[in-house]
Amino acid sequence: MTSSKTLASSLINALEFIKFSHTIFALPFALISMLVAARGWPEWHIFFWILVCMVAGRTSAMCFNRLVDWNIDQENPRTGNRHRLINKVGAQILMMVSTAALVLGSMQLNTLCVLLSPLAIVLITFYSITKRFTAYSHLFLGLALSVAPMGAWAAVTGELWSLEPYVLALSVLLWVGGFDIIYATMDIAFDKAKGLHSIPARYGVGGALRISRGFHLAAALGFGLFGWLAGLGWIYFAAWVFVCACLLWEHRLSSSNDPGNLNKAFFHVNAAVSLALFLGVFLTLI
């Protein structure tokens, strides 16, 4: 019984260490891309290996992020508990295993996925070091998450010549960049003290929120353009209208500069965005 409790506790700590709940931001867009590329549900083995690649890739990226920021996170009151969830050796092993799982998953899909897997690994990990030299690190995080729809499209079709995945990926990049800017306003004092770069640290809270609004306006237009290019019907566009309302609400919450509202804006609202668009596509095509 004791060993079972220890195992369960270790698993919970590992999931919290990689913020597994935040998978809800990228995974729905991989599934959206998958459904549109297949014009319905693909073969089950394709779905399974897309899911493996998504979870493995995100786990690898988060472990890399935690390892790179190990000492910095200990000094930040918001992140000071992370290193207690799992030790450094455990994080390194988890990163190596998940990276291997990503490569293995790509090998079960097609040649293009295998060829692109090294690039995917670079893109999803590179974000973690960008705040050391550029204020626009938020866009690199968006770039990392935009790999999800591109990879899923390649997994289904074996090619990337269509316009739809690029529009969706760009929209995801801008959407993620926008909400990461909002989240980064909570760390503005810490970032300045440690010489870390971010848009809030460079432009202040007011300027950062204006930039975030611009990103989200462009993202909303991009999601609409994606639906039009993909030939999706009224159900998708009803979901798109809901998403636009969510983004407006997110910026209303963030304007208060209250940490509780910022956390709501970061997680709950953006989870609603990704899930609503997925349901719009799912109900349209399935």
pLDDT, average across residues 242-250: 96
Domain of 26, in residue numbers? 2-285
Cα–Cα distance between 173 and 124 in angstroms, integer?
12
- Assign residue 252 the CATH number of its domain: 1.10.357.140
What's the pTM? 0.94
Cα–Cα distance between 277 and 244 in angstroms, integer?
11
Give the count of domains, the chain.
1
State pLDDT tens for residues 8-44. 777 888 888 888 888 889 999 999 999 999 999 999 9
Q: Helix 88-107 and helix 2-17: axis angle, to 10°? A: 70
What is the C-alpha end-to-end distance of the chain, expressed in Å? 44
Check pLDDT > 80 for residue 261: no
Percentage of the chain with pLDDT > 90?
Answer: 75
Check pLDDT > 90 for residue 5: no
State pLDDT tens for residues 136-182. 999 999 999 999 999 999 999 999 999 999 999 999 999 999 999 99
DSSP per-residue string spanning 224-255: HHHHHHTT--HHHHHHHHHHHHHHHHHHHHHT
**Total residue count of the chain as it appears in this document:** 286
Q: 22: which DSSP letter?
A: G
State pLDDT tens for residues 118-130. 999 999 999 999 9
Indicate the SS3 state at residue 18.
coil
